[in-house]
Structure 1
Amino acid sequence: MKVLVTGGAGYVGSFTVRRLLNAGHEVVVVDNLTTGRREAVGACRLHVVDIRDLSAMGAVFEGFRPDAVIHFAALKSSEESLRDISTYFDVNVTGTQNLLAVCARTGVRRFVFSSSCAVYGTPQICPVDESAPARPESPYGETKYLCERMIASYAQATGMRYANLRYFNAAGAADDASLGEHAGPGATQLLPVAVRATLGLPPSLTLRIFGDDYPTPDGTALRDYIHVEDLARAHLQALERLDGEDRCGPVNLGRGHPVSVRELIDVLSDVSGKNPEVVVAPRRPGDPGLSWADPGLALRRFGWSAERDLHHIVRTAWDWHTRVPASLE
C-alpha cells in the first residue's frame, strides 16, 4: 500500500513509519521539521512541507498518489494551547482541512488520524470508552475533536474509510535505544521531564508535581501510559483493517491501567537507582485529574491490545535518554 504520513519525523510518527516500512508498505513522509527530526525517518522519502501550504501539499499528493494517509502533524501541548489558541487552530484545524481537501481530490481511500484522549476532558467515568461525551478542557483538545468531526464529514461524502485513534499518554523508546522521544528543556511530558530532573539537568533541578489534591489514592493525577511501539503497531493494524464501514470512527488506544504521577516517579527511581527532588506545585490549567482508557474496542475492531507494561515503558525511556543525551537538549 502507498502510505503518506504527515508528521512522520516526529515521535510517534517515526515509530509508525518504521513499522510501515518493515511491513512492506511504500511510504512518503511530509513534515515541516519544526519539532520532527530528519534522521528519524532514515532513508524514507521526506518532503519538508507545512500542511497549511495547500499548493505544496497538492504537489506532493499528485506526485505520490497515496492509497492511504496517516495524519500525525499537529501541535500537541494542552498548556501551550491555552497561551496560543490561534496558532493551534491554524495548524491543527486548518492544516487538517487542507489535508482532507487534497485527499478528496486525489481519491485517498483510507485515513488514520492521530487524535487524543484530550477530547474527553475529565471523563465522568473511568475507564472511559468511546461512547463518552467529548468535553475538551483545552484548545488543543478542542482542535482534535473538530478534526475528528471534519474527517467523519469528508468520509461520509467520499466513502473514505477512517479511524480516529484517541490515544492516551505516549511514552517509552525502542528496546535498542535506536529511536525515541526528543524532549528539550521546554518539554511538558512527565516522563522525559522526570528523567531530566533525575539526571540533574537544567532548567529545573527539581521535579514539579502539578497538584496533589486530586480525588485519587495518593492525591496526584491518574494517567494511562502506553508504549510508543504499541501505538505504532496500532496505527498499522488500523490501517490494514479499515475494510468495512463498521470499522470507522473513534477508537481508544491505552493500556487501561491508571498510573499516578507518584507511581511513575517511583518506577523511574527503581529503574535508575536515583531519587529526583520532588516539589508540589498548583494544578496546571487544562489538565484533567483522572483519565484512563477502556481499550476494548481496539481489540474487537483491529485485533489490537497493548503488550508492554509500565516498567518496560520507563526502562526504555531511561535507556534512550541516558544513551542519547542530545534527546534532552
Structure 2
Amino acid sequence: MKTVLVTGHDGYIGSILCPLLATSGYRVRGYDSHFFHDCLMGEKIPDIDSRRCDIRDIGPQDLEGIDAVIHLAALSNDPIGNLNNTWTEDINNQASIHLARLAKDAGVERFLFSSSCIMYGASEAEVVNEDSPLDPRTIYARSKVESERAISDMAEPGFSPVFVRNGTVYGLSPRMRLDTVFNDLMASAVTTGKVVVYSDGKPWRPVMHIKDLVRTFLQYLEAPVDKIHNQAFNNGAEELNRQIIELAEIACQTVSGAELVVESQSGADQRTYKADFTKFATTFPDFRFEWNAESGAQELLAAYRAVNLSNEDRCGYKFVRLRGLNRLLKNGQLDGALRWQ
C-alpha cells in the first residue's frame, strides 16, 4: 500500500480528497496548520493519520516513508495575499519549493502541485492552454508561477512533479468556504434573496465541483509516469468554462424568488480566462466529470438550508478565509508571521 502525504489536508479541498484516497487503497498522512479547523459545515470528517504542522517547518524526517505528495497547503486567495506580501512569498512560494526539494531528497516519486489558472491573468486570447503566456496579476498568482518554475527545474527520473492548474472550485465540503465565486453566489441567493454581480458579468472562469476535482487528483497520481512527468495541466473540461453572469443566473433560477442585480463598478475584477482542456481530455480519455453548475447549485441549496445558513454566517469568519485569519490575528492566537502563539 502506497503512502500519500497531503499538505493542507484539513482545508476545503483536503477534507474531501483524503477520504477518497483512503477508500481508493492509499495510506494517507496529513499535515496542516489547522488555521480553519473549526470552520465546519455538515458531515463529520473521517480521521486520518495527521498532525498540526506549518509547512514552513517540515523537515526530512517528515517525508520518510512517503511515496507521493499532494501539495494543497497555501494561503488560498488574492485578498489574503494582498494583506501581506511576505506571508504569500514565504508560505505559497518558498515553503512549496522547500517541500519539493525535501521530497526529492527523500525519494518521493510523484509531487502533485495544486496550482491555478489564475496565472493566465486577463488573457487576450480566446482560450488559454498550458503553453499560453502567463500574466500573473496578483501576489497569489505570481507565487504559483514562481513555484511551478522552481519545482519544474528539480524534475528528473525518479522525481516527477505535476502542476495541476485548477479553476474556481465550488461545492460542499465539511470545511466549507463561501469566498469562492459560485459558493458565494448561491449563499447570497439563499440568505439575502439577491445575487449581486459587481462587474458586467462577462469574465470567463473555469469552474469545477470539488468532488470532480479530487477525482482528477487520483488520475494524476495513478497515470503512467511518462504521461505526466514534469507537465502542467489545465484541470477541467470545455463545458466547465462559464461566464460569471451565467453562474449568477443559475443561482437565481435555483433559489426561488432570488433577484439578479448587476452593479458594474470601476475597478471590479475583470480578469478573464477561458481555459482549453484538450491536454487533460487527451491524457485521460476515460475520465468523466459528474457535476455541472446546475447540479452543484442544487447540492448547495440543500446544504445551506439544512444548516439554516444566515447572512451573518455567509459574511462571518468561519467560511471566509481572510476573516478567519484576521480573527486569529486579532485574538492573539497567531503572531505577525502567521505562526501559532
User: Is TM-score (shorter-chain normalized) higher than 0.5?
Assistant: yes
Partners of 1:256 and 1:78 in 2: CA distance:
25
Q: 1:316 aligns with which of 292, 299, 316?
A: 299
Q: 1:309 to 1:103 in 2, by over 3 A?
A: same
Alignment match, 1:59: 61
Structure 1: 5+ residue stretches without partners: 174-178, 213-218
1:45 aligns with 2:49: yes
**So what's the TM-score if we normalise by structure 1?**
0.84
Amino acid at match of 1:315: Q
1:58-137 pair list within 5 angstroms: 58-62=60-64, 65-137=65-137
SS of corresponding position for 1:199: helix
CA contact (8 A) 1:69 1:110 kept: yes
Partners of 1:281 and 1:6 in 2: CA distance:
38
Alignment match, 2:322: none
Structure 2: 5+ residue stretches without partners: 319-341
Higher mean C-alpha deviation, range 316-325 or range 163-172: 316-325
Note the C-alpha offset of 1:41: 4.5
Partners of 2:32 and 2:142 in 1: CA distance:
23
Amino acid at match of 2:186: V
Q: 1:159 to 1:37 in 2, by over 3 A?
A: farther
Identity percentage over the alignment? 25
Alignment match, 2:333: none
SS of corresponding position for 2:300: helix
The Cα offsets for residues 162-188 of structure 1, whole Å up to 9 and x where unpaired, read as 210001111123xxxxx45523xxx53
Amino acid at match of 1:80: I
Note the C-alpha offset of 1:305: 4.6
The Cα offsets for residues 109-159 of structure 1, whole Å up to 9 and x where unpaired, read as 111110000111122223211110111111111001111112211223x64
1:1-329 pair list within 5 angstroms: 1-36=2-37, 41-55=45-59, 58-62=60-64, 65-156=65-156, 159-173=158-172, 179-180=173-174, 182-183=176-177, 187-200=178-191, 207-212=195-200, 219-244=201-226, 247-257=229-239, 258-276=241-259, 278=261, 280-282=263-265, 287-303=269-285, 304-325=287-308, 328=314, 329=318
Amino acid at match of 2:245: R
Higher mean C-alpha deviation, range 121-130 or range 242-251: 242-251
CA contact (8 A) 1:210 1:283 kept: no
> What is the aligned-residue RMSD (CA, Å)?
2.5
SS of corresponding position for 2:263: strand
Q: 1:242 to 1:265 in 2, by over 3 A?
A: same
Amino acid at match of 2:89: F
Partners of 1:274 and 1:146 in 2: CA distance:
45
Q: 1:171 to 1:14 in 2, by over 3 A?
A: same
Q: 1:196 to 1:38 in 2, by over 3 A?
A: closer
CA contact (8 A) 2:97 2:150 kept: yes
Note the C-alpha offset of 1:190: 1.9
Note the C-alpha offset of 1:247: 4.0
Q: 1:268 to 1:45 in 2, by over 3 A?
A: same
Partners of 2:224 and 2:123 in 1: CA distance:
28
CA contact (8 A) 1:52 1:95 kept: yes
SS of corresponding position for 1:11: coil
**So what's the TM-score if we normalise by structure 2?**
0.81
Partners of 1:86 and 1:166 in 2: CA distance:
23
* Number of equivalences: 306
CA contact (8 A) 2:199 2:262 kept: no
Alignment match, 1:176: none
Partners of 2:233 and 2:171 in 1: CA distance:
21
Higher mean C-alpha deviation, range 289-298 or range 107-116: 289-298
CA contact (8 A) 1:238 1:302 kept: no
